[in-house]
Amino acid sequence: MDTPMTREEKAYIDTLSHYDLLYGIRFAKVGDPRFQGEKGKYWLQRREEMRKVDPEQAVRDSKEMGW
């Protein structure tokens, strides 16, 4: 079942930096509710959009964050 995203959730995701978005993706536990349904799709889409705008910053974020 696809979980709808609220306006508030979308607005929150829009405030996050690329680092914050990537951190959530990289270190979330399996089944994390942030990545369920429409909200999860939007989170991934937003991170990808930000990566495309500044790919060098995306690489710096990834290296700084580590694994």
Token output for 21: 């978005």
E strand or H helix at 36: none
Residue type, 64: E
Distance CA 14, CA 67 (A): 24
Confidence of residue 67 (pLDDT cuts 50, 70, 90): confident
* Contact of 39 with 3, CB cutoff 8 Å: yes
What is the number of other CB atoms lying within 10 angstroms of the CB of residue 10? 14
- State the pTM of this model: 0.88
List, for residues 1-54, the tens digit of each pLDDT value.
577 899 999 999 999 999 999 999 999 999 999 999 999 999 999 999 999 999
Residue 47: name the closest of 4, 9, 18 by CA: 18
